[in-house]
Amino acid sequence: MNKNMVLASIASLVIGYFLYPVLNKNQLEKPSSKVVDSTHVPEKQTPTAKNAALSVQNKNKVGTLESESDASSEIDTNDSHVQEQTDVIEQSDFVAHESNIVSTEQLIELQTWSEAHKISIKELLNNNLAEEQAEKLMNQITRENPFLSDPTVHQDANSDEQWSYKMTEIINHQIAQHPNGVDLEILSLTCKQLTCELLVREIVRGSWFRVYPALIEYFLSNQYLIKTEGIKQLLFQNGDEFLFYQHLVFSK
């Protein structure tokens, strides 16, 4: 990637960070469009965990249609009703996504993981903030955040496990080797289905503004497809302490 494009992207990220709303301990500002995550939603239906429930309902519907079909000897096998029934059968256990076929079982497993992860984030906040402050930040984190409410399957479970391990290692390494990395405490780092979620506490004020652009520069310079706009990112101020909640969203 052209170096000027990389620098321009980083400059826009730094400017965006300084435009963050600060959520202080006395008042929680309503999030603007620049704060709320606008994770890309394709025009075609994307397989999410909630789609799995609908798929199961369709499967039940198929059973009813089959019973009605057996009871009637006058149904033409070439008629549109039977064709519609066949379509439902084909989609009842699997959802097509790009070139992948995603099973409803994988969608349900992802939803279960998401619910458990949301609980772990809440417990983490409760352990690091006063109850009221933890609740305020959790409300902001979960607001319009599909990663915690309705995650999307972008790759099969085995590929995702390998990708998650690799990205976690890279992010930890890049932060650790940065001169300001020692001025940060990573409270949580989770990578799942092409999204990495970080919860970071600044030990030295302003350190995240130096480390984060360097992290993005690394990914852009190494030809990773990473979004730099419309992602979930929050700055929370608790007295003299600053916490950052950040998504890194990748594409295959």
Residues of the chain short of pLDDT 50, as ranges, are 1-2, 6, 20-45, 53-54, 56, 60-69, 71-99
Element (H, E) at 115: helix 104-128
Domain boundary pick from 85, 102, 119: 102
Amino acid at 252: K
Judge if 92 and 115 occupy the same domain: no
Judge if 166 and 95 occupy the same domain: no
Domain boundary pick from 82, 102, 122: 102
Judge if 41 and 141 occupy the same domain: yes
Judge if 107 and 205 occupy the same domain: yes
What pTM was computed for the model? Answer: 0.67
pLDDT at 41: 37
Cβ-contact 126, 134 below 8 angstroms: yes
Judge if 78 and 160 occupy the same domain: no
pLDDT at 2: 45
pLDDT at 40: 38
Instruction: Give the chain's domain count.
Output: 2
Judge if 222 and 149 occupy the same domain: yes
pLDDT at 156: 92
Tens digits of residue pLDDT in 145-155: 999 998 999 99
Four-residue CA torsion sign, 163, 164, 165, 170: positive
Judge if 154 and 238 occupy the same domain: yes
Judge if 92 and 122 occupy the same domain: no
Question: What is the extent of the structural domain holding 144?
Answer: 3-45+103-251
Judge if 225 and 131 occupy the same domain: yes
Judge if 89 and 59 occupy the same domain: yes
Length of the chain: 252
Judge if 238 and 166 occupy the same domain: yes
pLDDT at 240: 87
Tokens of 132: 């009221």
Judge if 41 and 84 occupy the same domain: no
Cβ-contact 44, 95 below 8 angstroms: no
Amino acid at 202: E
